[in-house]
Amino acid sequence: MTRWTAEQVAKVAPDPSSLAAARRLASPGPWSDTGSTDQLVWGKCQGSGSKPYQVTVDLAGPAFKCSCPSRKFPCKHALALIMLWVDGAGTVASVETAADFAQAWAEQRAGTAARAAARTKAPPDPAAQAKRREERLSLMDAGIVDFSTWLGDLVRGGTAAARHQPCSWWDGTAARLVDAQLPGLAEQVRAMSSDVIARDDWADHLLATVGRWWTATRAWTARDRLSADEVGDLRAYLGWSFATDEIRSGDAVDDTWLVLGAHRSDNGRLQQQRTWLWGETTHEIVQVLDFAATGQALAVPQVVGAVLQATMARYPGTTVRRALFASDPVAIDTRRGLPAGGTVDDAWARAAEARAANPWAGRVPVILDSVWVTPGSPSYVVDGTGGSVSLSADTAVWDLLATSGGRPVDVFGELERGRLRILSFVGAKELVAL
């Protein structure tokens, strides 16, 4: 396996306190019996008890195992072990054979994966598949009808009344949408219960979102008249996912891909990691999505600025398309700059085009050339023509200013809800993740 970077270690930490604790342990003193192979890293860390903790990391997963009682995942011992391995100073030597405890855990994982693969490879029963699909469609149809009725009641009551509804009013609707296998809509309804209280522009936000919800209900009832890509956009919005094998065997393209940026979010139940890539031949920007339950480890992110050779399988959709790696990506280079971008007006035009094709496109990737960042509440980016866009509250503005020295920079980010979230920018020598 390619040796990780310190940035990748930080990305898999469950929280800042675990990362800080791991850094204090990332020295040879408490460690013994360390080693690594192409896939595994292991060692024993002396804790407060008489027996040291046995720690193993499967780099390919990544997956982590530690005999300590911590409920955090990965724990500080696993993080510290990876830090020692990343350091490359010889504390974690490369050997041919893993330690017994590490090998036993790896074999157990391999056996579990093999049994799961065997179940997956069992030939599906077409009749059973068709029955399950019809059952789901029936549930979704009923859920859409119920949601349409709820939307009508909301509009008749007025948006001002909706703002004063208790959380249980929103949560009850979200629960019915989950039962109807419409989790995408359910999550949006839950989020709206806090948005109408927290946002200054809550009225405009609620009205625009209700419009998209209503459009989705009408599109669902007319789905037989939509193209495959339009149905793909709608399915993504409603939360009906595609089987991975179905995507891998579909629309795939081999290209050289630049990792533009990545972002992680956690809503308390589910973590999401978005990684944006730009194809040097296709000039298309796609996003790779990874998910994990809160407290579990997300996939190790690709390094921003890395150039990868890979085949990407693209999900059905008209614009802002999701993709997955149909082949293992091979890092072949790093790139110091971004593809050609444009002005703020160009970014708004791109967002308008994307949403004209896909009215449910929540965020649109954009590249801006030579913009200044002005801190404030909110902060802004301003281009050479005077065009500006406010920055999202989670953009690390001061980190960007400290690194750029206040000079104009090329940036990559996501336009979402009228604001820009900067994910990377071109520093003095390289593409810098923010």
Is 139 among the domain residues?
A: yes
166 prior amide bond cis, ω within 30: no
For 131-155, how does the pLDDT look when each residue is reduced to its tens digit (9 = 90+)? 988 999 999 999 999 999 999 999 9
Does 70 lie in the same domain as 26?
Answer: yes
What's residue 180's pLDDT? 95
Cβ-contact 300, 4 below 8 angstroms: yes
What's residue 74's pLDDT? 86
The last residue of one of the domains, among 312, 334, 356, is: 334
The last residue of one of the domains, among 237, 260, 281, is: 237
Is 339 among the domain residues?
A: no
Predicted confidence band of residue 295 (pLDDT cuts 50, 70, 90): low
CA end-to-end span of the chain = 25
The last residue of one of the domains, among 179, 210, 237, is: 237
Does 380 lie in the same domain as 365?
Answer: yes
Domain interval for residue 365? 344-433
Q: Which of 144, 164, 163 is nearest to 152 (CA)?
A: 144
Does 423 lie in the same domain as 319?
Answer: no
Q: Which of 332, 313, 194, 204 is nearest to 248 (CA)?
A: 313
Coil, strand or helix: which one is 430?
coil
Does 232 lie in the same domain as 135?
Answer: yes
Give the distance, in angstroms, between the CA of residue 62 and the centroid of all CA atoms in the same chain. 16
Is 96 among the domain residues?
A: yes
Distance CA 285, CA 327 (A): 18
Does 158 lie in the same domain as 93?
Answer: no
Coil, strand or helix: which one is 27?
coil
Is 207 among the domain residues?
A: yes
Does 326 lie in the same domain as 365?
Answer: no
Give the distance, in angstroms, between the CA of residue 297 and the centroid of all CA atoms in the same chain. 12
Does 168 lie in the same domain as 96?
Answer: no
Predicted confidence band of residue 421 (pLDDT cuts 50, 70, 90): very high
What's residue 301's pLDDT? 73
Predicted confidence band of residue 122 (pLDDT cuts 50, 70, 90): low
Does 115 lie in the same domain as 10?
Answer: yes
Distance CA 213, CA 149 (A): 12
Position 322, amino acid: R
What's residue 119's pLDDT? 62
Cβ-contact 85, 92 below 8 angstroms: yes
Does 255 lie in the same domain as 218?
Answer: no
Number of domains in the chain: 4
Does 286 lie in the same domain as 216?
Answer: no
Does 223 lie in the same domain as 184?
Answer: yes
Cβ-contact 31, 84 below 8 angstroms: yes
Q: What is the mean pLDDT of the chain?
A: 89
Q: Work out the angle between the directed axes of helices 183-198 and 167-179 (0-180°, nearest 10).
A: 170
CATH for 410: 2.40.50
